[in-house]
Amino acid sequence: MARLVLASSSPRRQDLLKMLGLDFIVIPSTIEEEHFNGLSPEEMVRELSRAKAEDVGRSVENALVIGSDTIVVLEGKILGKPANPGEAIEMLKELRNKEHTVITGLAIYDSNTGRTVVDSDQTQVFMGSIQDDDLINYVKTGEPLDKAGAYGIQGIGGAFVDWIKGSYYTVVGLPIHKLVKMLKEFGVSIF
């Protein structure tokens, strides 16, 4: 059986693979994400996921490489990872009292055959009313600085989320319901 490789250094994605009981190694992709600007949000996450999986997959043998990418879309505008605390505060101010969409792309690349399977998933998220002081104090924790949209639903940032419609794991950064089906296409079953 091919070994599993996660083409991401994301601790959240690693935790989700461990939760599924999968044995894997981590080799982060070196793909430059800004090369994918200009695509629609769904195309962007799908193509970035593919590029990350194939980038790492070309350097390993006998492996299934998992690539993923997550973005937040608010009123047609893509919110990536904030560049600094000030930008994180501004993103959170934009998100409060509004619904937004989290889109996560997912790709699996088979380094033996060159076959790639790509998918994506979307979840609607409504962030409630948040006081400015709470936003500032949240950003001081450092949690939002490496997350699309400047919040982590699985961390303290989850306190700002009133409701979601769709997969919680898509918001965390890895739609496990799709991942399990995709792995099965490559002969890997978690059950």
* 34-45 tens-digit pLDDT: 778 888 999 999
By annotation, the residues acting in catalysis are: 69
Look at residue 62 and tell me if it is in a domain: yes
- Look up the domain containing 133 and give its range: 3-185
Look at residue 98 and tell me if it is in a domain: yes
Number of independent structural domains in the chain: 1
> Does the predicted TM-score (pTM) go above 0.85?
yes
Burial class of residue 33 (count of CB atoms within 10 Å of its CB; 0-12, 13-18, 19+) = middle
Look at residue 190 and tell me if it is in a domain: no
Q: CATH number of the domain that 68 lies in?
A: 3.90.950.10
Look at residue 25 and tell me if it is in a domain: yes
* pLDDT tens profile 105-159: 999 999 999 999 999 999 999 999 999 999 999 999 999 998 999 999 999 999 9
Q: What does the pLDDT average to over 16-20?
A: 97
The pLDDT, as a whole number, for residue 1 is 66
Alpha helices in the chain (DSSP H): 11-19, 41-57, 85-95, 132-140, 168-172, 176-185
Look at residue 60 and tell me if it is in a domain: yes
**Ramachandran class of 9: left when φ > 0, alpha when ψ lies in -120 to 50, beta otherwise:** alpha
DSSP string, 166-189: S-HHHHHT--HHHHHHHHHHTT--
